[in-house]
Structure 1
Amino acid sequence: MPSGLIALALGGFGIGLTEFLIAGLLPQVASSLAVSEAAAGWLISGYALSVAVGAIALTAATTRLPRKHILVGLVALFVIGNLLSAVAPNYQVMLLGRIVAALCHGSFFGIGSLVARSLVAPEKKSQAVAVMFAGLTVANVLGVPFGALVGERWGWRAAFWAVTAIGVVALAGIAALVPSWAGRVQPVAGTERATGAGAEGIPPSGLARQFRAFRSWQVWLTLVATALSYGGMFGAFSYIAYTFTEVSGFAPADVAWLLMVYGVGLVIGNLVGGRAADRDRDRALVIALLGLALTLALFGLLAESATASVVLVFLMGVTGFAGVPGMITRVTDFAHGAALAASANVSASNVGNAFGAWLGGLAISAGLGYTAPLYVGAGIVLISVAVMAVAAQRARSDRVADRVPAR
């Protein structure tokens, strides 16, 4: 495995930690900075909104820069943001630190996915993306308990100091281990190194050329499928604690380890999905999405069983993240390596998260119960399956048309 991939995964781990650990620290932060729980909640929602904005804005602003340099700058921004949070004398500085750290999130995973796939042979590109995202999925498992444990022993600021240190190590690793040619065509020993642009050559660098990638229906269909799949999963996941405690009969103290079961599923699904996508990407994506829809529907039906809930929340993680590597390589392939499209995929997932959580909340407010978000999520994912099936069919038709000789 290329050492540059490990450095990217470490960066993803640090970014994932800073996203998730705040949930376990929120009461401490609110008390320390003398703000209400609602105001403290903006440290989470403000981060999410900044991810969606930063993914597009920073990628658009850096289109002509070498991708390795961009990644180094993004991780530096991440370090600064967490440092601000660690030393924040008041709520305003804390929120600023969260926003600064979040701005790098989407662009890091968007541009990082292009760099990651350029470090391996073309037939392993989805696996390379999965390795980079492994850092994020591991952070999902460890983020909340890490924040809670460190915060309880040494205070909430110590958690942000720890994440800042991880960011510094990731920054040094990317600077030292990611080659300067990563993400673009570079002759190596008489051959051409595989890049995020695939066989098309140097990825588009100018902003106008980046936007041309969005002329492709396949790019838009993949972005829509991404938003819907995330929306279905996180629409259900946002209220999963209530499902566990109010329907499945678990104690509130059990929620932490149940979320870790879900996180382990994310890690496995990410790695398995990457391998499957390198064999037959569109088929793997349709199967993963169908599996997620079925899992969510079964979860709704069997939520009263504690045993079934444990199994199904694990499968929810597996199927929910199995499509992520394939979706990213798909959108970047059809965008011919445009970094803006890769970052737009991250923005689409965050928009989907917000949309799904909103619909799940509406279902609960309508009195449909705490299993309703699971059914709502299953319905959203089924729409994603339909979108992905249309995209796959169009792609097959285009390939057949390309093989038919002109008369």
Structure 2
Amino acid sequence: MMRRVWPLVVAAAALGIDAYVLAGVLPQIADSLATTVGAIGLGVTAFTAAYALAGTTLAKRATRGSTKGALLLSLGLFNVANLITALAPGLTVFLASRVLAGAGAGVLTAVATAAAAAMVGAEHRGRAMALVTFGLSAGTVAGVPIGMLIGEHIDWRWTMALVVAIGVVALGALALPGKDIPAIPSEAGTGAASIAASPQLIWGILLAFVLGTTSLGLYTYLLPMASDRGLGPWGFALIWAWGVGGVLGSLLIGRLIDTVGSRQLLPLLACVLLASFAAVAFLSHPWAWLAAALSWGAAGWASVPALQDALTRNRPQATTTIVAFQMAAMYLGSAAGSAAGTALLGAGLPAAQLPRGALAVQVVAVALAVVVAVLGRSRSGPRPSSPGAPPAVA
């Protein structure tokens, strides 16, 4: 049954590369398009803004017809936009293409996650949703370094060609005859109204933003933080430790969600992140940093499907809307964390001090995770199960 989800995982991998790879080849793009790095950097902002806006406003509408059609349309838009990026003759076309790519990605993430959950039985729901996050993390961890190497040694346009190639593979797999995808349950009313009506969802979306700010935002500065602590030669190993942790965390968390329960796991994952930030804030031994980077990546990426399940397990009809808002909040939080780090470094704060700020903010994330778990308990009944299977505990 899980094999049916893999085309969505490949699509998510293409998205994971696209969301982060441009930041690593900004100078090459600026030289090629005869503009400044700052102007090209607006492309990252444009992608994130379009991702958040399109996901939260269009994802639910896209699923009113065929789920497969919504996936093909959003993935097709994503691929075409990235092809335009690869061929962009100037800044205007480049920025416009990043808006289109972000819009396609925002709808695709929400619909793919909801579709994955709908394609399996309730007892496998956590694993299916976690597989989509696995695609995102694998694309970020493996695809981004490869894309950056291509950009540095060949040309940044071939970096974008890599994203398009992976997206086309996913598109072809989804378009194959017999790859029917069940309809996604849909709630009545507007998406924003359903979020506003639930305290758990409000706190959960805020938690997604805070986790994006700390986990992904701080990761942006992992290399300068290590250098300030005299761990510059360990930088490559730390990056890969974080990445390996992310891939393992997102791959393994699904089974735990389905057996242990996301409400029990969510506060624990937030505490693991807190401990990881404390280690890099106050310790300087390379092995301590490697262990912290591994657990940081694992807990950070594992928290994505854990939060998705905690917010949607008893609201399957609202999965598309909730995931759209959650992922938009996470990416906006990542952008806010990166921007805050840039501002602090520009004000003269040593990079080695950034983990202390993340540590303070992560305390808020732990409190929010507990609130989300407690509020989820108040509306949870027996965990849905397949016919003939005993109900599991949420």
Calculate the TM-score normalised by the size of structure 2. Answer: 0.89
Note closer, same or farther for the CA distance 1:399–1:47 as it changes in structure 2 (3 Å cut): closer
Amino acid paired to 1:18: D
2:21 is aligned to 21
Contact 1:48 1:350 in 2 (8 A): yes
Aligned residue among 182, 186, 190 for 1:203: 186
1:261 aligns with 2:241: yes
Which residue in 2 is equivalent to 1:250?
Answer: 232
User: How far is the alpha carbon of 1:267 from its aligned partner?
Assistant: 0.6
**1:293 maps onto 2:290 in alignment:** no
Distance in 1, matches of 2:242 and 2:175, equals 33
Change beyond 3 A, Cα 1:177–1:26: farther
Quote the sequence identity (%): 26
Distance verdict in 2 for CA 1:137–1:177, change over 3 Å: farther
Letter in 2 for 1:348: A
Distance 1:293 1:37, change over 3 A: same
Contact preservation (8 Å) 1:290, 1:385: yes
Q: Is the 8 A contact 1:211 1:340 kept in 2?
A: no
Deviation per CA, 1:270-321: give whole Å up to 9, x if none: 122222222221111110001101110111101x323322221122101111
* Structure 2 residue aligned with 1:144: 144
Where do 1:336-347 residues align within 5 Å?
Answer: 336-338=316-318, 339-347=320-328
* 1:224 lines up with 2:206 in the alignment: yes
State the match for 1:280 in structure 2.
261
1:285 maps to amino acid? L
The 8 Å contact of residues 3 and 178 in structure 1, kept in 2 or not, is answered as: no
Instruction: Report how far residue 395 of structure 1 moved.
Output: 3.0
Of residues 142-151 and 360-369 in structure 1, the stretch that sits farther from structure 2 once superposed is: 360-369
For the structure 1 residues 207 and 170, does the alpha-carbon distance in structure 2 shift closer, same or farther, using more than 3 Å as the test? farther
TM-score, normalization: structure 1? 0.86
Q: CA–CA distance in 1 between the matches of 2:310 and 2:286? A: 37
Structure 1 CA distance, aligned partners of 2:110 and 2:133? 11
1:306 corresponds in structure 2 to: 286
Q: Is the 8 A contact 2:314 2:380 kept in 1?
A: no
Q: Are 2:115 and 2:181, in contact at CA under 8 Å, matched by a contact in 1?
A: no
| Other structure's SS at 2:120 match | coil
SS at match of 1:35: coil
SS in structure 1 opposite 2:34?
coil
What letter matches 1:271 in structure 2?
A: L
Q: Structure 2 regions of 5+ residues with no counterpart?
A: 382-394
Question: Counterpart of 1:369 in structure 2: which amino acid?
Answer: P
Distance change >3 Å, CA 74–CA 218, structure 1 → 2: same
Letter in 2 for 1:219: L
Compute the displacement of 1:57 (Å). Answer: 2.8
Pick aligned residue for 1:376 from 357, 363, 372: 357
Which letter maps to 2:94? M
Counterparts of 1:140-179 in structure 2 under 5 Å?
Answer: 140-176=140-176, 179=179
SS state at 1:73 partner = helix
Distance across 2 between alignment mates of 1:224 and 1:124: 27
- Residues 114 and 183, structure 1, Cα contact 8 Å, conserved in 2: no
Secondary structure (helix, strand or coil) at the match of 2:350 reads coil
How far off its partner does 1:261 sit? 2.1
Query: Where in structure 1 are there 5+ consecutive unaligned residues?
Result: 185-201, 401-407
Distance 1:334 1:357, change over 3 A: farther
Contact in 1 for aligned 2:86/2:158 (Cα 8 Å)? yes
Distance in 1 (CA, whole Å) between partners of 2:194 and 2:152 is 50
Is 1:134 the counterpart of 2:134 in the alignment? yes
Q: Work out the CA distance in 2 between the residues paired with 1:344 and 1:159.
A: 29
Say if 1:7 and 1:178, in contact at 8 Å, map to a contact too: no
Q: Does the Cα contact within 8 Å between 2:12 and 2:135 map onto a contact in 1?
A: yes
DSSP 3-state at the match of 1:248:
coil
CA RMSD, aligned part only?
A: 2.3
2:101 aligned with 1:101: yes
CA displacement 1:168-187 (0-9 Å, x = unmatched):
11111122278444243xxx
Relative to structure 1, the CA distance from residue 367 to residue 112 in structure 2 (aligned partners, 3 Å threshold; closer, same or farther) is same
Aligned to 1:387: 368
